């Protein structure tokens, strides 16, 4: 099956020429990434040091893995805020089950994945069967998961992270385990979205849910499965983060839930579903991470960093809007 | 009492233009100069310094026990706060029902937004006194003033607000702590060192005041920092920032100022990954995980203490107020807990407790059984 460009169907009257609009919609994020990299040659040439590239790629991988799930969910016109709670839950499960023992890492990961899948199932059921808006359902689930972790830990997440997870901190030039995992997961899900019936159904459900239902697609099953996948990918990201920090940090992954949505949107995935894809999200993740690293290299204050990040998101949405395609 | 004497000398010497402040003892002794310009530029110092020498006449609050005491705490957020609460409940139990008949508790979850209405709810229950751990200096000022207007004496515990309308504050001079950490770094590395600075959460008074004190000292030497970033008291953020700093500055880094031990754990991890030796770090604490890493990696550090056990001093202050006894308007916990003093890497082994879990902040005044109940004791092998 050949896959359409994200905004192949965009048409409108007035404004910019159609070709330009489609070009911006389809390639804008890559041009923005290129422009950012060119700007870095002047503003922060140190970004091109091997060590800095390794840092950027390792940190981008943490965001990137969860952004894959967020993109899948956005493609079916959903949204997942609950991933913010899954990071800490994963970290607690890993530390609690293993208590620092390497031999218990696999059972800990399986338990975390099972719990993550349960959260995803809850999100999916609420959105499909109870028709709760995704924002409300996943926000409620976020609060529930955070509350449950607080109740379980009595507000004090503790325990020891097994040394073997420290492998995520190893780099060979710019290659690292998180980066390979991110690239591998991207390759797998790009294949699924582009080359399988399941992938076609995901796009179909996001494009027009009623048309998909009428054509015999089990819409609810697709949406629920996507929420489960999203949660499991958040668990994967949580495991990488836990190994990265080497400590159960109450604030682990703070902000990644919103950054992952931002990365997907900047990457051209439509908020209303049905359009976009993982290549764009990869570019979106890199833009957000490179901007963050450049801001640090330039010594900008945290407030300025937030402003820049906000402007980039708004800029991307505005650009897609000017190109007259929905973002 | 020695500290009070130092502060009194400090106030007197301010009249002459400058003041020499000494903090710590033995290997942790650090001296730095606070100038009149620093005081003029710091609303915090302008608030604290006069109160060092003042007493509050509490006769208007005198009543017979038992008392109903309200605690608006930081609440479920981290190990420091969990131990703070545990100390509070343990000490109330220790005081007995003849002294405290009811203990009202508010859990702010480390959020000023949650704490403001919570204080109102606590005041609606008409407690005899309120202990407040303010989650925001500006946001909590109005609730504090309303409590005082309502006739409920307020004791600020561990942090400050922007009004002076309260009875007393229990804590320590955070400006001086921030300044001391900076001064130690300069003494250890030299004035021509290249330094980095990582602060806590911007906007919280504890972080902002420490930062203010540190920057004043760095400025007084004309030192330009390589960079200053907010690490949000998080090991993960601390590590992310440190990784970029290492890629950017590498061996140039001569020393690091940190607003908390959690972030130092992230820094250590970044240095470990980069296989580089760790430079002197000012900003450790008596936190067991930090001490374990510091001993393992063997780098120079300067640590301070912010004991969660200070809540026992806050409770004592409340009892004193409700008995109508005059009380100092600023109570430095070091006067009551002399062990809560700064220390260096030379004493790391003395402060490390093998049986405590990584997240315990000392010193702890509760018995071990209480720590075990809370899961803070590691099982002996």
Q: Which domains does chain B have, with CATH numbers?
A: 63-172+307-339 (3.40.50.2300), 173-304 (3.40.50.2300)
pLDDT tens digits along B279-293: 999 999 999 989 999
Which has more pLDDT, B88 or B359?
B88
Residue B206 has pLDDT above 70, yes or no: yes
Does any CB of chain B come closer than 8 Å to the CB of residue A51?
yes
Q: What is the pLDDT of residue A325?
A: 54
Q: What are the angstrom distances between the C-alpha of B277 and each of B35, B185, B248, B264?
A: 36, 17, 16, 14
Q: What is the pLDDT of residue B28?
A: 62
Residue B15 has pLDDT above 50, yes or no: no
Q: What are the angstrom distances between the C-alpha of B236 and each of A47, A232, A316?
A: 21, 21, 28
Q: What is the pLDDT of residue A314?
A: 87
Q: What average pLDDT values come out for chain A (327 residues) when binned by 10 residues?
A: 49 64 83 93 92 92 96 96 94 92 95 97 96 95 91 76 90 90 97 96 95 94 98 96 86 86 92 91 95 90 86 83 60
CA–CA separation, B122 and B69 (whole Å): 10
Structural domain contains residue A13 = no
Q: What is the CATH number of the domain that holds A146?
A: 1.10.3470
Give the rounded distance of the alpha carbon of A123 from its chain centre. Answer: 16
CA–CA separation, B127 and A321 (whole Å): 56
- Residue B64 CB neighbours (<10 A): 7
Q: How high does pLDDT run on average in chain B?
A: 88
Which has more pLDDT, B21 or A289?
A289
Inter-chain contact A296–B229, Cβ cutoff 8 Å? Answer: yes
Interface contacts A/B by beta carbons within 8 Å: 99
Residue position matching structure tokens 């922007």: B162
Q: Which residues of chain B are within 8 Å of residue A154 when distances are taken between CB atoms?
A: 76, 82, 374-375
Give the tokens for residue A152: 């379980």
Average of per-residue pLDDT across B192-196: 96
Does any CB of chain A come closer than 8 Å to the CB of residue B198?
no
Q: Which residues of chain A are within 8 Å of residue B375 when distances are taken between CB atoms?
A: 154, 156, 158
DSSP 8-state assignment for residue B128: S
Cis peptide leading into residue B363 (ω within 30°): yes
Give the model's confidence band at B2: pLDDT under 50 very low, under 70 low, under 90 confident, else very high.
very low
Inter-chain contact B78–A155, Cβ cutoff 8 Å? Answer: yes
Residue B17 has pLDDT above 50, yes or no: no
Of the candidates B197, B172, B164, the one whose C-alpha atom is nearest the C-alpha of residue B182 is B197
CA–CA separation, B236 and B225 (whole Å): 22
| Total of domains in chain A | 1
Which has more pLDDT, B315 or A275?
B315
Q: What are the angstrom distances between the C-alpha of A187 and each of A57, A62, A173, A287, B85?
A: 16, 16, 21, 19, 49
Q: What is the pLDDT of residue B291?
A: 93
Structural domain contains residue A228 = yes
Structural domain contains residue A302 = yes
**Residue among B202, B236, B274 whose CB faces A245 most closely:** B236
Residue B80 has pLDDT above 50, yes or no: yes
pLDDT tens digits along B137-149: 888 999 999 999 9
CA–CA separation, A246 and A164 (whole Å): 10
Inter-chain contact B229–A302, Cβ cutoff 8 Å? Answer: yes
Give the tokens for residue B107: 């859990």
Q: Domain residues for A220? A: 18-322
Q: List, in sequence order, every beta strand (DSSP E) within chain B.
A: 18-23, 30-35, 55-56, 67-73, 100-107, 129-132, 154-157, 168-171, 195-199, 227-230, 255-258, 281-285, 301-304, 327-328, 330-332, 343-344
Which residues are CB-contacts of A157 (< 8 A; sequence separation ≥ 6)? A88, A91, A92, A95, A149, A248, A249, A250, B359
Structural domain contains residue A264 = yes
Percentage of residues in chain B having pLDDT higher than 90: 59
Q: What is the pLDDT of residue B377?
A: 82
Which has more pLDDT, B295 or A16?
B295
Structural domain contains residue A327 = no
Structural domain contains residue A3 = no
Structural domain contains residue A278 = yes
Half-sphere exposure of A34 (CA within 13 A, CB side): 5
**Residue among B226, B234, B246 whose CB faces A249 most closely:** B234
Q: How far is B327 from chain A (nearest CA, A)?
A: 34
**Residue among A52, A247, A251 whose CB faces B232 most closely:** A251
Q: Which of B236, B270, B354 to mutate to test the interface with A (most CBs of A within 10 A)?
A: B236
Task: Return the H-helix or E-strand segment holding B85.
Answer: helix B79-95
Of the candidates B333, B278, B335, B341, the one whose C-alpha atom is nearest the C-alpha of residue B310 is B333
Inter-chain contact B239–A297, Cβ cutoff 8 Å? Answer: no
Give the model's confidence band at B7: pLDDT under 50 very low, under 70 low, under 90 confident, else very high.
low
**Residue among A55, A241, A246 whose CB faces B244 most closely:** A55
Give the model's confidence band at B372: pLDDT under 50 very low, under 70 low, under 90 confident, else very high.
confident
Does any CB of chain B come closer than 8 Å to the CB of residue A154?
yes
Q: What is the pLDDT of residue B24?
A: 57
Q: What is the pLDDT of residue B356?
A: 87
DSSP 8-state assignment for residue B223: P
């Amino acid at each position: 099956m050949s896959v359409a460009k994200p905004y192949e169907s965009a048409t409108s009257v007035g404004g910019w020429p159609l070709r330009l609009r489609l070009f911006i919609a389809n390639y804008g994020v890559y041009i923005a990434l290129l422009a950012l990299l060119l700007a870095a040659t002047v503003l922060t040439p140190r970004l091109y040091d091997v060590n800095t590239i390794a840092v950027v790629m390792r940190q981008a991988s943490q965001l990137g893995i969860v952004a894959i799930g967020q993109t899948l969910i956005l493609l079916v016109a959903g949204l997942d805020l609950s991933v913010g709670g899954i990071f800490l839950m994963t970290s607690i499960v890993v530390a609690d089950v293993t208590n620092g023992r390497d031999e218990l890492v696999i059972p800990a990961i399986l338990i975390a994945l099972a719990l993550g899948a349960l959260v995803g199932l809850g999100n999916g059921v609420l959105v499909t069967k109870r028709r709760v808006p995704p924002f409300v359902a996943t926000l409620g689930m976020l609060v529930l998961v955070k509350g449950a972790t607080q109740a379980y830990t009595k507000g004090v997440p503790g325990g020891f992270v097994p040394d073997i997870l420290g492998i995520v901190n190893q780099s060979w030039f710019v290659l690292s385990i998180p980066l390979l995992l991110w690239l591998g997961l991207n390759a797998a899900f790009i294949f699924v979205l582009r080359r399988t019936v399941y992938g076609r159904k995901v796009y179909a459900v996001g494009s027009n849910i009623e048309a998909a239902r009428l054509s015999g697609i089990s819409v609810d099953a697709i949406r629920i499965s996507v929420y489960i996948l999203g949660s499991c990918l958040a668990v994967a990201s949580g495991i990488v983060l836990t190994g990265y920090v080497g400590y159960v940090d109450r604030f682990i992954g703070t902000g990644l839930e919103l950054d992952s949505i931002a990365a997907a949107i900047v990457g051209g995935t439509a908020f209303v579903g049905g359009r976009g894809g993982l290549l764009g999200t990869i570019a979106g993740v890199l833009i957000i991470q490179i901007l963050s690293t450049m801001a640090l290299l330039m010594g900008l204050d945290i407030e300025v960093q937030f402003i820049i990040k906000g402007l980039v998101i708004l800029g991307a949405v505005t650009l897609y809007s000017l190109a007259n395609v929905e973002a | 009492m020695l500290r009070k004497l130092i502060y009194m000398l400090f106030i007197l010497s301010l009249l002459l233009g400058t003041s020499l402040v000494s903090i710590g003892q033995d290997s942790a002794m650090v001296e730095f100069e606070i100038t009149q310009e620093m005081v003029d530029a710091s609303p915090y110092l302008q608030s604290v310094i006069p109160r060092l020498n003042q007493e509050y006449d509490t006769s208007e609050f005198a009543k017979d026990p038992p008392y109903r005491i309200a605690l608006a705490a930081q609440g479920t957020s981290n190990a420091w706060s969990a131990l703070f609460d545990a100390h509070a409940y343990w000490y109330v139990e220790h005081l007995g029902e003849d002294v405290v008949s009811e203990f009202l508790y508010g859990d702010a979850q480390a959020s000023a937004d949650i704490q403001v209405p919570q204080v109102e709810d606590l005041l609606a229950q008409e407690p005899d006194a309120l202990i407040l751990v303010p989650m925001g200096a500006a946001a909590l000022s109005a609730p504090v003033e309303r409590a005082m207007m309502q006739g409920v004496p307020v004791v600020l515990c561990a942090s400050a607000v922007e009004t002076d309308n309260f009875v007393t504050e229990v804590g320590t001079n955070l400006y001086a702590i921030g300044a001391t950490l900076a001064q130690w770094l300069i003494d250890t590395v030299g004035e021509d060192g290249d330094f980095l600075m990582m602060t806590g959460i911007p906007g919280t008074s504890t972080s902002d005041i420490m930062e203010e004190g540190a920057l004043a000292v760095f400025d007084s030497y004309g030192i330009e920092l390589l960079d200053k970033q907010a690490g949000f008291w998080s090991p993960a953020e601390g590590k992310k920032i440190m990784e970029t700093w290492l890629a950017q500055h590498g061996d140039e880094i001569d020393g690091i100022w940190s607003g908390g031990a959690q972030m130092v754990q992230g820094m250590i991890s970044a240095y470990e990954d980069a296989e580089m030796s760790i430079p002197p770090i000012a900003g450790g604490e008596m936190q067991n995980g930090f001490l374990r890493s510091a001993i393992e990696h063997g780098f120079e550090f300067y640590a301070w203490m912010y004991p969660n056990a200070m809540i026992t001093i806050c409770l004592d202050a409340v009892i004193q107020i409700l008995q109508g006894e005059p009380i100092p308007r600023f109570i430095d916990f070091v006067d009551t807990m002399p062990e809560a003093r700064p220390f260096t890497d030379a004493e790391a082994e003395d402060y490390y407790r093998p049986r405590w879990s990584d997240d315990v902040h000392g010193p702890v005044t509760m018995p071990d059984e209480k720590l075990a109940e809370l899961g803070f004791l590691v099982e002996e092998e």
